[in-house]
Structure 1
Amino acid sequence: MAGEAQADCLFCRIVKGEIPATIVRESETTVAFRDINPQAPTHVLVIPRAHYPDAASLAAAEPALAADVLREAGEVAAAEGLDGSGYRVVFNTGAGAGQTVFHAHAHVLGGRGLQWPPG
């Protein structure tokens, strides 16, 4: 069920502390940690503590929680020193877009030039 932790979800297990991660920021509703396969010098994932399979389902069910994820992405970028040079926030939604963990998450990327279009 959406919102409830899923036993087989990697990110739900990180939220519970069952799987280690390099946590850079936590709030009541979110957790931010370094990506284990970084695509930029700074690559942090910001996830809601509640389980939603993707950004679209999160936004539809809990718009305030989706806003928390975006706000925390900005806080991560500032804490990482990216707010002056620029950064990118990416939500991959669905396997065809590159989503590999089906728990909504934002990628905060920065520390190098980010070309457009991506991918």
Structure 2
Amino acid sequence: MSFDPATLKYDPAGLIPCVAQEAATGEVLMMAWMNAASVSRTLATGKVTYWSRSRAAFWVKGESSGHHQRLVELRVDCDRDCLLALVEQDGPACHTNRRTCFYTAVRGGEEVEIMAPVHSGQS
């Protein structure tokens, strides 16, 4: 059975959330939005392509940072309204230069930063 991105359930803006997870370790890296065209581009190229709501443009992960995401497998949830991208991540996934966007934990009612930014070694 072939996959058709049009069969997914998009929000009124034509977007669907996509969680990126490191394929090798299961580490959750980030969440971003896709539309039908970015889903198609991701599948065609193997380069994870999101839709930037702030720029209203396609965003190929790593295009400017060099921290690429290569698609290993795309999964669709049971309601067809959320995607899981299993990826191979080069470098940090987060724009804050952390491995994951989920670097803040809520512990005992307090926010705790549990991951420092990755340093490039350059000064």
Higher helix share: 1
Relative to its length, the structure with more strand (as a share) is 2
TM-score (normalizing by structure 1): 0.31
Q: Normalising by structure 2, what TM-score?
A: 0.30
Highest relative contact order (Cα 8 Å, sep 6+), 1 or 2?
1
CA radius of gyration, larger in: 2
